[in-house]
Structure 1
Amino acid sequence: MHSVFTFPAAFSSAECDAIIALAHEDELRDAGLTKGQTDHNYRRADLAWLDERAGTDWVMTRIIDVVAQANRSHFDFALTEFGESPQIARYGADREGHFIWHSDIGDGAFAAKRKLTLVVQLSDPDSYAGGALELWPASHTQTAQTARGTATLFPSFVLHRVTPVTQGERYSLTTWAHGPLFR
């Protein structure tokens, strides 16, 4: 079993553009934390939720396929559902967008059942500076690949962060596959 799995070209460049356009159909919302809390020292980003956008079935179909392939070949977790909507995040230099070290398992009804996290790189890596997705699965950090359309999957208990964006803006698509609590 690998702690981090990379799925190159999970989405094409045109599909990444389409997902970013979906995010801007309505005004993006300030990113919060669990239980409706906000702390800009902890997380500074703007979000759109995919389930609030029409015509997004193709995105979820692709996510399900990518998660199924990665889980079969690398994780072998007991996954039962996608209980939360995928989120599109914008980390902009205008706000020094970032997310400090955290895990995705939390106290909420769904956050407690998160087993596998998927993050898709939607932006061209040349369009921003900073904004690295860093993971700490063991005794050292790993930086996720930044090729546009690449999906990075990891157990939701793995510590990870997004470093501050210092130029431009970075978009990502994140969702979680749920299952019984880890034992």
Structure 2
Amino acid sequence: MLFWLPQVLTPAECEQIVAALRSGQFQDGKSSAGNLGRNRKANEELDFRFPAKPELDRTVMAALARNQTLDAAARPKSITRPIYSRYGVGMHYGMHMDAAVMGKQDRMRIDLSMTIFLSDPDSYEGGELSLETEFGVKTAKLPMGDAVLYPTIYYHEVKPILRGERLAAVLWIQSLVKDPHQRNLLYELSQIADTRNREAPDAADTKQLIKVHMNLLRMWAEN
């Protein structure tokens, strides 16, 4: 399941991040690509040694922590620090798969990928995120501050930039619930349970629904 998460970052947070990126040091994005994707990648990424990066990361991670939809959809156990990418005219990232495991010492299984869009979609042409899903090709080119969340089981690409510049923050998530179908069921149950709890918090079926939801999460969650 793909999730569109509106306003993960507020307009003020986006302005702060973009202003910092304007003065940032960028490097060839191939440096963070795996062997299978390196030749398909043509973009730039903020140097991890850039002095302002820790503050940018804190802003993004705080925004993720307060997002209830992300919590319900992803059930995060661990989230990587953001990579801030820049695509100018002619840049792209060809069809590829994200790594299944990341990290050299603290190894982390990757269950979900997230792109937070940092540019006004009208300010650039091209640059769509395109995913090959079981329901056909899906594309995302979202408003500034919005994010797309998707399971890391799909081939995907960033289409070439034809005009302007595309800025984004990308992150990866290890979920407490490994199986994507189980995560989707838990998300749907959480939405129904929340609605029912608002309408009739003391009803017997509300209590039963919450009980089923919590016990399934307990059954499927991994340490």
* Paired residue type of 1:19: I
Contact 2:116–2:147 (Cα < 8 Å) also in 1: yes
Distance between the aligned counterparts of 1:133 and 1:37, measured in 2?
A: 19
Show CA shifts across 1:105-130 (max 9, x none).
Answer: 24644786111111111101111111
Q: Secondary structure at the match of 2:55?
A: coil
Higher RCO, 1 vs 2 (CA within 8 Å, ≥6 residues apart): 1
- The counterpart of 1:175, out of the listed 171, 175, 188, is 171
Aligned counterpart, 1:30: 28
Aligned counterpart, 1:64: 65
Structure 1 pair 147/106, CA: closer, same or farther in 2 (3 Å)? Answer: same
Structure 1 pair 27/50, CA: closer, same or farther in 2 (3 Å)? Answer: closer
Q: 1:178 deviation in Å? A: 2.0
Q: Secondary structure at the match of 1:105?
A: coil
Structure 1 pair 37/125, CA: closer, same or farther in 2 (3 Å)? Answer: same
Distance between the aligned counterparts of 1:118 and 1:50, measured in 2?
A: 19
Query: Percent sequence identity over matched residues?
Result: 25
TM-score by length of 1: 0.80
In the alignment of these two chains, the number of paired residues is 173
Distance between the aligned counterparts of 1:11 and 1:131, measured in 2?
A: 20
Identify the range of structure 1 (146-155 vs 103-112) with the bigger mean alpha-carbon deviation.
103-112
Q: 1:28 deviation in Å? A: 0.6
Aligned counterpart, 1:102: 96
Aligned counterpart, 2:193: none
CA RMSD of aligned residues (A): 2.8
- The counterpart of 2:156, out of the listed 146, 160, 163, is 160
Q: Secondary structure at the match of 2:78?
A: coil
Identify the range of structure 1 (107-116 vs 18-27) with the bigger mean alpha-carbon deviation.
107-116
TM-score by length of 2: 0.67
After TM superposition, which residue ranges in structure 1, 4 or more long, deviate above 6 angstroms? none
Aligned counterpart, 2:77: 80
Contact 1:112–1:181 (Cα < 8 Å) also in 2: no
- The counterpart of 2:87, out of the listed 65, 88, 91, is 91
Aligned counterpart, 2:55: 55
Distance between the aligned counterparts of 2:70 and 2:102, measured in 1?
A: 25
Gap regions ≥5 residues in structure 2? 180-223
Aligned counterpart, 2:189: none
Structure 1 pair 159/36, CA: closer, same or farther in 2 (3 Å)? Answer: closer
Structure whose alpha-carbon radius of gyration is higher = 2
Aligned counterpart, 1:12: 10
Which has more helix, going by share of residues? 2
Show CA shifts across 1:5-24 (max 9, x none).
Answer: 00112122332221122334
Q: 1:35 deviation in Å? A: 5.1
Q: Secondary structure at the match of 2:111?
A: strand
Distance between the aligned counterparts of 1:137 and 1:88, measured in 2?
A: 25
Gap regions ≥5 residues in structure 1? none
Q: 1:160 deviation in Å? A: 1.4
Structure 1 pair 59/124, CA: closer, same or farther in 2 (3 Å)? Answer: same
Distance between the aligned counterparts of 1:172 and 1:119, measured in 2?
A: 7
Q: 1:55 deviation in Å? A: 2.1
